[in-house]
Chains A and B, each alone.
Chain A
């Protein structure tokens, strides 16, 4: 094996191992299990146990490819949902594999686009150790799976001997169309990567003998894959709302509709970049920047420099335009002020890392070949060992150098205790209001708590709210409170749907609770 290939393999293995360690160590303990993780696991559970896409009425709020993948993963495990501990732990084990795969793809794509191993190592390194990235990438989120499909799409679009001058196979174009379709079916906002991916494909194939077939079949594969979602809705007679009514103030009552949901999502707005109270400001200042300022600031700066260099080079540095375009088009989506949640930053992170890698590759290329290793080692050394940097080591309030919370905090044990208390003290036929994080554990392990439902469904799903609980707080036996669940209930109560559950809380007493740091869990018994 040529030494270059050997070096490449070694660097790749080191990158993958780094990712496995930073994401795998303390994976099941931190961060806290959150509602969304619970929802996706619960829907994967429904796929396996009920052959449906959701245990409740599926109203096309998300396309299902993500939890179908999770279901596929659970199906092959010996102890299914319990293989790695709780159901969410089992999902997180999959996220670890997803991350390692994504790291491989980040490494390879950066190496191809930049033509530099140094660039690839830096991109993969940042993707692996950014505390912001680790925090969300450990969670069972559709975004993580979607990112993997988008990266695989790029990997295929840049395949072949030389992405700049060499030919590309039509089979690669077809496969990458399929993976892009899967990305969209995993999380619809992958569509924001379509323009730049399409541009890259177009630039790559234009003037080549298989240009028409390549572009034609990429598009065909992607559209076919996405069309399955519409076909599904059509077959269920749920494509169009009844009476073709798209009146947002008057949702169709008799059956759900894919097109109505899309219409509704397009009209959801939570302010814009100009409004400093909008989620994009709240999250970026409140949640994202404190976790990792570097990746956001350096990533944004690198993207702008790459874009400038790319545009000024008249096509010689096409990779600059492509990589910055990917990051910026998604950033524009975030900034345009639609519905968003804290973890929506996830799809931006690999592209910020690749931008930093590309810029680093360009800067390092000014050095003689043998000296290029120095800045790479220095940079990774600073990130890992300098506590002031706050990536792996931090200085705590006592002035001691300690590992980052990611590697030492245990938050999920409290949730495990809460679950255990329920199993020991609450009869299985009790009617519980819970958060989604423990849904699958309560429904998949004997004894089954089949009357345990999340407050979201109890507030909005007619089957649960009206038929099971009669919208009466007296029909609730216990309310199992996850961290900050009361805040979430209040936030979700714009239409008054949670009011009857809040009344139950007002008529209840705490029978179990635990508090540690900013996490507080409790179980309330309703006094009737």
Chain B
């Protein structure tokens, strides 16, 4: 029994130190933009736009998106950018007749208004997933800059002007612009989920871009076509093809510019139910694991980048550990009599957990300020109560992902979109309160 207790204490101690270090590092990544005033300035979008020059191919991969696809098409074609410079393709599998019908209906409507730059592109062979659709579209389109929007995305009408200006001014070939979940008071996990996006796009991704190791997002990402072609397109067997293509592009030495300007973010919604949320998170965790196993990151030029890649890709698994560790640590502290110094060391990850909670609460006010929203006084309290359960959900998804990967299950568990961020329609560009 004592031997078992000793092993438990020693293990906890080691884990405690490692988790504290990783937790402090993650905290830093999440604060990076606020810590570095020059990074904060760099992240902003240009204040003046150059005349439209770059032609865009907009890819809209969709599966069973009958409810939202028409709005999405509408938003893209109504953007403040010359229509001749935009080519829109809705990408569907042939069996998704509902979405195809809705898209065609919208296209006909637009044609009647003289807008004829939208078409549906279908594919029939396996696998049935987003990267496959994107690869099909890549060969079937021609414009210089390729971008992707998901069906539920609310894009800013000036997004093409922003990217056109950044690409012309800075000569960059890959630009990731911010994506932001908006419905932060929809349910118990939505606040923390919204803030994950906020910290990821507003802060952490800038750190990655500076380090030259950027796992890209799945939409509002812009590539000069030749870069994608050199990278060989998207990996059709990877559940997070976006992060994967980002790492491959990084290993080609191609710099990525990240723009997070609160005004120009693409607005999205949190998954509508916990079940969907878990499925989405499982897919991400599994995709990261797959990308880790693929070892494309090993081709990154320097050691720091490779380390950062391993850390980022393994992060969901580490997160699983953190969520579970809290319980082990509390149990160890109060049930096994340890020397005081040991007990204090065991408590360090709890301090880090509190630091992360504080980060999220302050982040809530930064987020709502940036979007002219006013959070309820109850929201921080709900966050405090749900913070650990949220971590446990992530842990669960991560464990689930690992099991799926080990058992070779690789199907795409699609996230449903109900348009929670569109329920209270606001004029574009203004503050859209996203209460559902």
Chain A residues at the B interface, C-beta cutoff of 8 Å: 51, 167, 169-171, 209-210, 212-213, 216-217, 220, 224, 228, 231-232, 235-236
Contacts and interface: CB of A to CB of B under 8 A. Distances in A.
B366 interface: yes
Contacts of B339: 51
Interface stretch (B34-42, B58-66, B163-171, B316-324): B34-42
A522 to B, nearest CB: 41
A216 B354 CA distance: 12
Interface in B357-413: 358-359, 362, 365-366
B343 interface: yes
A210 B34 contact: yes
Given A217-B358, A224-B354, 13 more contacts: A169-B35, A169-B36, A212-B365, A213-B359, A213-B362, A217-B31, A217-B355, A224-B351, A228-B344, A231-B344, A232-B340, A232-B344, A235-B333
Given A167-B37, A169-B36, A220-B354, A213 B31 contact: yes
Contacts of B366: 212-213
Contacts of A228: 344
Contacts of B354: 220, 224
7 contacts: A170-B31, A209-B37, A210-B34, A210-B35, A217-B355, A220-B355, A235-B344
A170 B344 contact: no
Interface in B34-54: 34-37, 40
Contacts of B359: 213
A224 B350 CA distance: 11
B40 A209 contact: yes
B362 A235 contact: no
Interface in B316-340: 333, 339-340
A217 B360 CA distance: 12
B362 A216 contact: yes
A209 B339 CA distance: 43
- Most chain A CB atoms below 10 A, which of B35, B36, B343: B35
B173 interface: no
B220 interface: no
Contacts of A170: 31, 34-35
A192 to B, nearest CB: 26
B347 interface: yes
A222 to B, nearest CB: 13
A231 B366 CA distance: 32
A334 B151 CA distance: 68
A217 B24 CA distance: 13
Given A217-B358, A224-B351, A231-B347, A171 B35 contact: yes
Contacts of A224: 351, 354-355
Contacts, number: 46
Contacts of B343: 235
B207 to A, nearest CB: 13
- Most chain B CB atoms below 10 A, which of A167, A212, A228, A235: A235
A220 B362 CA distance: 12
Contacts of A212: 362, 365-366
A209 B32 CA distance: 12
Interface string B194-219: 00000000000000000000000000
Contacts of A232: 340, 344
Contact of B340 (A167, A171, A236): A236
A217 B354 CA distance: 11
A209 B362 CA distance: 12
A217 B351 CA distance: 12
Interface in B13-47: 28, 31, 34-37, 40
Contact of B358 (A169, A171, A220): A220
Contact of B34 (A51, A209, A220, A235): A209
Contacts of B355: 217, 220, 224
A415 B86 CA distance: 91
A169 B39 CA distance: 12
A471 B182 CA distance: 74
Contacts of A236: 340
A210 B33 CA distance: 9
A268 B266 CA distance: 62
B9 to A, nearest CB: 14
A64 to B, nearest CB: 11
A228 B351 CA distance: 10
A219 B199 CA distance: 21
B287 to A, nearest CB: 31
A125 to B, nearest CB: 35
Nearest to B333: A235
A331 B355 CA distance: 35
A86 B416 CA distance: 75
Nearest to A167: B37
A213 B356 CA distance: 12
Q: Which 10 A-B pairs have the closest CB atoms?
A: A167-B37, A210-B34, A170-B35, A212-B362, A235-B343, A213-B34, A235-B340, A216-B362, A169-B35, A170-B31
Interface string B119-156: 00000000000000000000000000000000000000
A177 to B, nearest CB: 11
Contacts of B351: 224
A170 B359 CA distance: 12
Interface string B228-263: 000000000000000000000000000000000000
A228 B340 CA distance: 11
A220 B36 CA distance: 20
Contacts of A51: 339
A216 B358 contact: yes
B93 to A, nearest CB: 45
A171 B28 CA distance: 8
A209 B28 CA distance: 16
- Most chain A CB atoms below 10 A, which of B28, B340, B347: B340
Nearest to A227: B351
B352 to A, nearest CB: 10
A216 B366 CA distance: 13
Contacts of B333: 235
Contacts of B31: 170, 213, 217
B261 to A, nearest CB: 13
A466 to B, nearest CB: 27
A367 B35 CA distance: 39
A167 B343 CA distance: 38
A232 B338 CA distance: 12
Contacts of B34: 170, 209-210, 213
A231 B359 CA distance: 23
Contacts of B35: 169-171, 210
A176 B344 CA distance: 22
A276 B144 CA distance: 87
- Most chain A CB atoms below 10 A, which of B36, B347, B359, B362: B362
A224 B348 CA distance: 10
Contacts of B358: 216-217, 220
Contacts of B40: 209-210
A409 B236 CA distance: 85
Nearest to B31: A170
B401 to A, nearest CB: 32
Nearest to A225: B351
B177 to A, nearest CB: 20
Contacts of A217: 31, 355, 358
B52 to A, nearest CB: 31
A170 B37 CA distance: 10
A212 B35 CA distance: 12
A213 B340 CA distance: 32
Contacts of A210: 34-35, 37, 40
B260 to A, nearest CB: 13
A212 B344 CA distance: 28
A231 B365 CA distance: 30
A228 B347 CA distance: 10
A423 B93 CA distance: 95
Contacts of B344: 228, 231-232, 235
Nearest to A169: B35
A236 B337 CA distance: 10
A209 B365 CA distance: 12
